[in-house]
Amino acid sequence: MFITFEGIDGCGKSTQLSRFAKTLKETGISLVVTKEPGGTEIGQAIREILLHVDNNHIVPLAELFLYEADRAQHVSEVIKPALEAGKWVVCDRYFDATTVYQGMVLGQHEELIELLNNEASLGCQPDITFLLDCPAEIGLERIEKRYNNDKKKDRFERKTLNFHIKIRYAYLALANKHKDRFKIIDSTLPEDQVARKIREIISPYLPEKG
Ligand code: TYD
């Protein structure tokens, strides 16, 4: 199984992903937990370039290629070998993030993105994508609470409310287009309830006990 988590910044994705991974490990599933950008050593260097606040002048095409370069390395080094070995892979963001951020919101050519996503993912399609959905105001509030000042926020977290609103609706539109794969979870609910909903969705896929 290949499971991805998506959502706007501050949607609670990281918290839920680590709770989810813990639940899966408890069931004895052999699991790889990873993320984009930055799921490999090369990817970490790419992530540094992408998220650094000094790199605001990066041109959109260079940004797109870096996300895809990160993905190409990540899929071939981590995701594909793990899936081929029969492991479960849980990934914090994947190609839907590029479709939404670089494509639907930042305006890069849809066909180019589809082509690059296909090439970089080497046929590894998520079986389930959890979209943790919350209003952009709530996401930004959570980011504010996480950091006491502007210094530690990355390049995307510093973007405006309007940007985050667009990202939210782009994700919802994409989820609507791929209803079979996307599971939209209301992440304004208390943390335990969100975790329970995710568990309920995954439970039919878990191996039988005993
Ligand atoms: P993320 O790792 O989720 O941030 P954090 O670890 O701070 O929670 O994602 C980093 C940023 O990169 C996020 O704002 C979304 C952006 N992003 C894209 O624009 N395109 C992509 O393809 C991916 C994977 C992420």
- Decide: 145 and 99 in contact? Cβ < 8 Å: no
C-alpha 8/C-alpha 6 separation (Å) is 7
Tens-place pLDDT, residues 21-75 = 999 999 999 999 999 999 999 999 999 999 999 999 999 999 999 999 999 999 9
Ligand 1 nearest atom to the CA of residue 94, by list position: 24
Query: Helix, strand or coil for residue 206?
Result: coil
- Decide: 132 and 7 in contact? Cβ < 8 Å: yes
- C-alpha 194: how far from chain center: 17
From 156, 163, 164, 171, give the residue whose CB has the most ligand 1 atoms within 8 Å, as the site to mutate.
Answer: 156
pLDDT at 76: 98
Tens-place pLDDT, residues 118-157 = 999 999 999 999 999 999 999 999 888 887 656 678 888 7
* Mean of the per-residue pLDDT values of the chain: 95
Instruction: Check pocket membership of 97 for ligand 1, CB cut-off 6 A.
Output: yes
Instruction: Check pocket membership of 36 for ligand 1, CB cut-off 6 A.
Output: yes
C-alpha 52/C-alpha 47 separation (Å) is 8
pTM of the model: 0.95
pLDDT at 146: 82
pLDDT at 155: 83
Tens-place pLDDT, residues 147-183 = 765 667 888 877 889 999 999 999 999 999 999 999 9
51 Cβ contact list (under 8 Å, min separation 6): 37, 154, 155, 156
